[in-house]
């Protein structure tokens, strides 16, 4: 029995391994789907960013492509009015709480938020939701990197890299809702935590929250 499945994304014929998630199959075929929180090696995606919606023929509502397995014969659309609406809302919510001084950001021009905005014709400004500005102190205690929470999108890439790749567990999520942040145990500065300064979290950050000094 074949271990591949054939289907279409935006009318393009695609082949992928059985069990593969739709998001990765699309990206492998140069079909862009916005995403922030997806981690290829993670078997149980948490689907928290809500950016990767697609439509599948026969399924009434859009689904997150990072959680959806590929299947033989499915007909996938990466754009539709409903998908675009969901993406716009998720994106605007995200940036309502984000430090948008892009010209001062180390990730300027290579930031995942800028890419999403460009690919989907979205603005890095929004008026629909109340803008939340917080005075987070930048943690520049490590020798070679710093952490600016005002730019964090809570995608969890750094937490995963720290736990699963570096096997350290120096950082994690704390608090709920709009107060949710990535931090160390007891919120001590990184240099005072068990962080080994391996830089894997910095490499994993898709925006400019964790950056080299
Ligand atoms: Fe699918 Fe974040 S990438 S919900």
Residues 115 and 208 in one domain: yes
Please tell me the least confidently modeled range out of 1-5, 33-37, 205-209. Answer: 1-5
Q: How far is the CA of 64 from the centre of ligand 1 (A)?
A: 6
Q: Residue 33 Cα, ligand 1 centroid: separation in angstroms? A: 10
Tell me the best of 25, 26, 66 to mutate to test the pocket of ligand 1, counting ligand atoms within 8 Å of each CB and taking the most: 66
Residue to mutate (ligand 1; options 33, 64, 156; most atoms within 8 A of CB) = 64
Look up residue 63 and give its DSSP letter: E
Q: What letter does residue 164 receive in the DSSP assignment?
A: I
Tens digit of pLDDT for each residue in 89-144? 999 999 999 999 999 999 999 999 999 999 999 999 888 888 888 888 999 999 99
List the domain range (segments joined by +) for residue 20.
4-92
CATH code for the domain in which residue 104 is found: 3.30.70.20
Distance 35 CA to ligand 1 centre (A): 5
Residues 105 and 192 in one domain: yes
Q: In what order do the strands lie in the sheet with 4-9?
A: 12-17, 4-9, 75-77, 53-56, 63-64
Q: How far apart are CA 191 and CA 18, in angstroms?
A: 43
How far is ligand 1, taken at its centre, from the CA of residue 67, in Å?
A: 8
11 and 71 inside one domain: yes
Q: What is the CA radius of gyration of the chain?
A: 18
166 pLDDT above the threshold of 80: yes
Residues framing ligand 1 (Cβ under 6 A): 35-38, 47-52, 64, 66
Residue 114 and residue 195 share a domain = yes
Give me the percent of the chain exceeding a pLDDT of 70: 100
Same domain, 87 and 105: no
For 12, how many CA atoms within 13 A lie in the half-sphere containing its CB?
15
Cα–Cα distances in angstroms (integers) from residue 93 to residues 72, 80, 120, 131, 146, in the given order: 35, 20, 16, 9, 25
**Same domain flag for 70 and 108:** no
* Closest listed residue to residue 107, CA positions, set 152, 71, 165, 143: 152
Domain count, the chain: 2
CA of 46 to the centre of ligand 1 (A): 8
Strand 4-9 relative to strand 75-77, pairing: parallel
Maximal CA-CA distance, the chain: 57
Higher pLDDT, 11 or 135: 11
Taking Cα atoms as reference points, which of 161, 171, 150 lies closest to residue 199?
Answer: 161
List the CATH number of the domain containing 47.
3.10.20.740
Per-residue pLDDT, 69: 97
Q: How far is Cα 61 from Cα 98, in angstroms, rounded to an integer?
A: 29
- Looking at residue 49, its pLDDT comes to 96
Q: Among 50, 78, 153, 157, which is best to mutate for testing ligand 1, by the most ligand atoms less than 8 A from CB?
A: 50
Helix (H, G, I), strand (E, B) or coil at 81: helix
Spatial separation of the C-alpha atoms in residues 99 and 125, rounded to whole Å: 11
Domain boundary among 29, 61, 92: 92
Q: What DSSP state is assigned to residue 161?
A: I
Tell me the two tokens of residue 185: 């145990």
Residues 78 and 114 in one domain: no
How many residues would you count in the chain? Answer: 213
Nearest-CA neighbor of 18 among 3, 28, 40?
A: 3
């Amino acid at each position: 029995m074949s271990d591949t499945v054939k289907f279409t994304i935006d009318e393009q014929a695609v082949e992928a391994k059985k069990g593969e998630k739709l998001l990765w199959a699309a990206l492998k075929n140069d079909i862009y789907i916005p995403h922030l929180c997806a981690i290829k090696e993670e078997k149980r995606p948490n689907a928290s960013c809500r950016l990767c919606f697609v439509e599948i023929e026969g399924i009434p509502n859009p689904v997150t492509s990072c959680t959806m397995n590929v299947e033989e014969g499915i007909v996938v659309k990466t754009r539709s009015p409903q998908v675009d609406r969901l993406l716009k809302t998720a994106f605007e919510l995200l940036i309502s709480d984000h430090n948008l001084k892009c010209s001062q950001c180390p990730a300027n021009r290579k930031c995942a938020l800028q890419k999403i905005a460009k690919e989907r014709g979205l603005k890095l400004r929004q008026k629909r939701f109340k803008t939340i500005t917080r005075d987070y102190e930048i943690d520049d205690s490590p020798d070679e990197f710093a952490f600016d929470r005002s730019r964090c999108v809570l995608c969890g890439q750094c937490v995963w890299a720290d736990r699963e790749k570096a096997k350290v567990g120096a950082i994690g999520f704390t608090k709920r809702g709009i107060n949710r942040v990535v931090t160390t145990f007891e919120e001590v500065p990184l240099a005072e935590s068990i962080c080994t300064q391996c830089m894997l979290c910095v490499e994993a950050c898709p925006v400019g929250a964790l950056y080299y000094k």
